[in-house]
Amino acid sequence: MAQDIKPTRSELMKLKKKIKLAKSGYNLLKKKRDGLILDFFVILKKVKTLRTELTEEYKRAQKKIALARILESDLHIRSVALAISQTPTLELKKKNIMGVVVPSITSSEVKKKFAERGFGYYDSIAIDEAADAFEGVVEKVLIAAEVETSMRKILKEIEKTKRRVNALEFAVIPQMEKTQSFIKMRLEEMDRENTFRLKRIKQKLENAQAA
């Protein structure tokens, strides 16, 4: 029964320290959550811009390759594509945003000069322009892949941090404070009981001495 529970002042002190630590953690998590939300909206704006730019780059590349196909045969365009000897290399690294590990993609130059593509000088300028346009698309895709992956990871961390903040605010801390109030009340009751008991003992001693 609750009345039979006899907490100690040591337990109360330990609980106070736990509540203080929980509140400190709560404040840090709130700051982290707010910082992540700010970063998220900055990245979201960048993502929207990149998507628009990527769509425009792709439309431009499609027009360029369509023109090249009018001027050259598909077979010739394929043979020219196969003549490219250098392909860009990718390196996947990591970076940290507010404690969240996100990817960082670096690559050798995707954009090439005419001589670096391996084309013959007799090939039409339309093929070169189409190649240049699609290289631009690849560059945008790499940037978009890095930014969108970062956005998803940050959004996931925001949700995780929000759950922890809510758990501390609405469950953990209130429960500990409720327990703290109960312990205080029981200690006060025990003090009153001890005081009453001591008074009775004193009264009995005084009565015995008087008799």
Quick: pLDDT tens for 118-141: 665 545 788 888 888 998 999 999
Find the range with the poorest average confidence among 2-11, 28-37, 87-96, 181-190: 2-11
Cβ neighbours of residue 152 under 8 Å, at least 6 residues apart? none
CATH code, domain with 121:
1.10.287.3240
**What pLDDT digit, counting tens, does each position of 95-116 carry?**
888 888 888 888 777 777 666 6
Q: Tokens at residue 67, please? A: 């023109």
- Of 131 and 50, the structure prediction assigns the larger pLDDT to 50
Q: Residue 60 is part of which domain span?
A: 2-210
pLDDT band at 1; cut points 50, 70, 90: very low
Q: How many CA atoms lie within 13 A of 2 on its CB side?
A: 6
pLDDT at 90: 80
For residue 100, give the 3-state DSSP assignment: strand
Q: Give the mean pLDDT of 178-191.
A: 92
Does 144 have pLDDT greater than 50? yes
Mean pLDDT of 32-60: 95
CA 81, distance to chain mean position in Å, is 41
Confidence class for position 179, pLDDT limits 50, 70, 90:
very high
Q: Give me the mean pLDDT over the 189-196 stretch.
A: 88
DSSP designation for 3 = G
Distance of CA 210 to the CA centre of its chain: 78
H-state helical runs in the chain? 9-71, 74-82, 125-167, 173-210
* Mean pLDDT taken over the chain: 87
pTM of the model: 0.76
Query: Into how many domains does the chain fold?
Result: 1
Q: Which of 13-27, 44-58, 107-121 comes out lowest in average pLDDT?
A: 107-121
Percent of the residues in the chain that have a pLDDT greater than 70, as a whole number:
90
Q: How big is the CA angle at 57 (ends 56 and 61), to the nearest 5 degrees?
A: 115
Residue 199 tokens read as 């008074």
